[in-house]
Amino acid sequence: MLRIIGLYLYDGFQLLDACGPITSLEISGRMANDAYQVILLSAKGGPVRSSSGVVIETIPADLEGIIDTLIVVGGNGSRDAMHDEAIVVFLRHAAGTVRRVCSVCSGAFLLAGAGVLDGRRATTHWRRAKLLARLFPKVSVEPDRIHIRDGHVWTSAGITAGIDLSLALIAEDLGEALARRVAQEMVVYYRRPGGQSQFSALAELGGEGAQFAPLLDWMRSRGIAYGILLHGRVI
């Protein structure tokens, strides 16, 4: 059974938000006799520029009845895209017609702006979770999750979590064993241990402007080994 997966792009989208799912689905499709066909959509079709400057060709998002699963990617451009009336109308309509509607990273803001996440549990990049909850109080935001399924709506955390999301979709469609083989082929976790807090906590400890950043930089410059205790583990 061929399933058509539509990835929705807009100016300023994050390239890896799109490429992670595309690659996961491509590999699984080869393993399962062309199980998936990926199409790239945008409001008007034509070339769409990512935040990195890489341009991807798309087709107009008007393929009603053809798309099995719609994945809305994130990126810096989501700030403008979530207010684009054409995008909002399309996503609101698509959510009622496709079998599954999904978001990667800040793509959740577009789904929330279209009302798709009202009354649902959802996640997004840990750095933007508080903003999502503040802007859309009808959404129950869970900032520490890698991905969440609520009915036919799936949301995922930041950037590389699009791969985790894709593996979960593949497992639902084609089985756990095949999804695990895809993860092995991509050299990624099949089920990533822990939630987003492990990454955000590490960033807070050692990131620019963080409390311990000067100390860690000083230790690195002198070749001093160090460990950070995080969730009971030294990293």
Please state the φ and ψ torsions of residue 140, each to the nearest 5 degrees: -90, 95
Tokens of 105: 């990273």
Active-site residue, from 5, 7, 88, 105: 105
User: Is 19 annotated as catalytic?
Assistant: no
DSSP state of 175: -
Residue 150 pairs in a beta bridge with 153
Q: Which residues neighbour 49 within 8 Å (Cβ) at sequence distance 6 or greater?
A: 11, 12, 55
Long-range contacts of 194-197 (CB under 8 A, 24+ apart): 194/231, 195/144, 195/145, 195/146, 196/123, 196/125, 196/126, 196/143, 196/144, 196/145, 196/146, 196/157, 196/158, 197/126, 197/143, 197/144
Known catalytic residues?
105
